[in-house]
Amino acid sequence: MPPVPHIRWHIIEGAAGCAYARERGLVAVVVDALRASATAAMLFDAGATEILAVREVSDAHAARPGFSGALLYGERGGLPPEGFDFGNSPRTVEAARGRRVIFTTTTGAGRLLDCWGAEAAYMGSTVNAAAVVRAAASHEKDVVLIPAGLVSDPFFNAQEDWTAAAAVAMRSGHAIGQGAAAFDAWRKRIEAEGLEALFQSAPHAEKLRRVGLEADISYCAQMDLTAAVPKAVKRHRFGVILQNAAP
């Protein structure tokens, strides 16, 4: 789909980006590059039927009895919480084929909930960049790419989230509105250093290395692994239900 001249794509980090999209009725794309956006996309790629994204670990456990047959995927501190079936790794998704999933992460899942009320809310990153661009552009409205950041620290250096958001924006071909200066700086860094290097040198990557999950860093830095696009479609008592927006 060619860019529509009057439409702008914006890049606004964290809670401010969620509010900007929600309050203006724009399209939101949550970019939690290491790793929630990638894991959600790859869960659908593997054949998960739907995902219930929840904010808290306690919400995941509370929702399970009413979400029949669901597997629990998620993390706190990078690792699976007690009682979970799997962590938040896009490399451990095969068990979700034909299953429902309840999903919680430190930041990305909560950011998605905060976007409820926008024109549409998706999860996107490098791994599904082309597909999420198609899905977001189909609304013919402004789009807000939201580098997730870290919910507990608004000053955290979310380098990989900005890198991925800029890569998606580059793929879109649209003019950038809010965040244009930051986008231009990250575009230049992508062209000079490459996606892989920027993911590897991100502070969050070091956290993953400390818990033995360094293989996820390279995996999440890849472009267009899947056409799956997680989309929030329904409010649930404990969170929001996602379905795959791809054909």
The string of pLDDT tens digits covering residues 199-234 is: 999 999 999 999 999 999 999 999 999 999 999 999
What separation in angstroms does the CA of 211 have from each of 79, 89, 216? 8, 12, 11
Tell me the C-alpha distance between 239 and 195, whole Å: 32
The residue among 211, 214, 178, 225 whose CA lies nearest residue 28 is 178
Question: In the predicted model, is pLDDT for residue 1 greater than 80?
Answer: no
Longest dimension (CA), the chain: 50
What's the pLDDT at 153? 95
Residue 6 banded pLDDT, cuts 50, 70, 90:
confident
Strands 27-31 and 239-244: unpaired
The Cβ-side half-sphere exposure at 53, using a 13 Å CA radius, reads: 33
What's the pLDDT at 189? 98
Q: Give me the percent of the chain exceeding a pLDDT of 90.
A: 96
Residue with tokens 């991100």: 202
Question: In the predicted model, is pLDDT for residue 4 greater than 80?
Answer: no
Question: In the predicted model, is pLDDT for residue 2 greater than 60?
Answer: no
Q: List domains and CATH numbers for the chain.
A: 8-244 (3.90.1560.10)
The string of pLDDT tens digits covering residues 108-163 is: 999 999 999 999 999 999 999 999 999 999 999 999 999 999 999 999 999 999 99
pTM: 0.97
What's the pLDDT at 119? 98
The string of pLDDT tens digits covering residues 51-108 is: 999 999 999 999 999 998 999 999 999 999 999 999 999 999 999 999 999 999 999 9
